[in-house]
Amino acid sequence: MTAPKLSLLQQPGAARAGAPAGDAARLETLRELLVREAELATELRDELLRQRTAVAAADTAAVDRSSDAVSRVLLGLDESRRRRGELLEALTGDANVPLDRLESQLGGALPASLESARRTLRRAATDAAREATINRGVLRRAVEAGEAFLQDLFSGGAPQAPTYGATPTAPTPPAAGRILDRTA
């Protein structure tokens, strides 16, 4: 008669939550990775807010800085996700196991600290995704305003300043035409 196979979290001789000492260390490393991912997601949200503020102020230098910062944070998130995948592969045999299915893959309840880190990451990721969605719309409108400004400038109409936000309440009278003189 063979003994039933025990789940990762139910194996005897476990150091914490029923997991073997090596797996307990991996679970702690996973918790640390999730905490770091949550910090990066929060940093991404903050950079997206700064970017939106810079667009509203028409501060191109600040938009450039925030875009660079967003790229840096996204690279950090990619690296963290890659490391998480390696750790999940070692724990479950599946690098792509969704975090909300971790209990079923491990065969038991997660340690409270890991569960807390998972919830924190979920909240931070949701917040960052919301800000990214808002920024997509803001940036799209800013590009459209810039294109409209250029169209007005070269069509002879009175150009409207390409700004994000409220439009002027009183329209400016149309100009009769534009003369561009390069020898001024």
CA distance linking residue 67 with residue 180, whole number of Å: 34
pLDDT per position in the chain (184 positions), as tens? 444 333 444 443 333 344 455 788 999 999 999 999 999 999 999 999 999 999 888 898 999 999 999 999 999 999 999 999 999 999 999 999 999 999 888 888 899 999 999 999 999 999 999 999 999 988 888 888 777 777 777 876 555 656 665 555 555 555 555 555 555 4
Element (H, E) at 73: helix 60-92
CA distance linking residue 109 with residue 115, whole number of Å: 9
- The pLDDT of residue 145 is 79
Judge if pTM exceeds 0.85: no
- The pLDDT of residue 153 is 76
Cα 119 to Cα 12, 31, 49, 87, 98: the distances in Å are 28, 11, 22, 19, 13
Q: How many CA atoms lie within 13 A of 164 on its CB side?
A: 20
- The pLDDT of residue 23 is 82
- The pLDDT of residue 72 is 97
CA distance linking residue 10 with residue 104, whole number of Å: 12
- The pLDDT of residue 172 is 57
Residue with tokens 């409220």, as numbered in its chain = 166
- The pLDDT of residue 171 is 55
CA distance linking residue 76 with residue 88, whole number of Å: 18
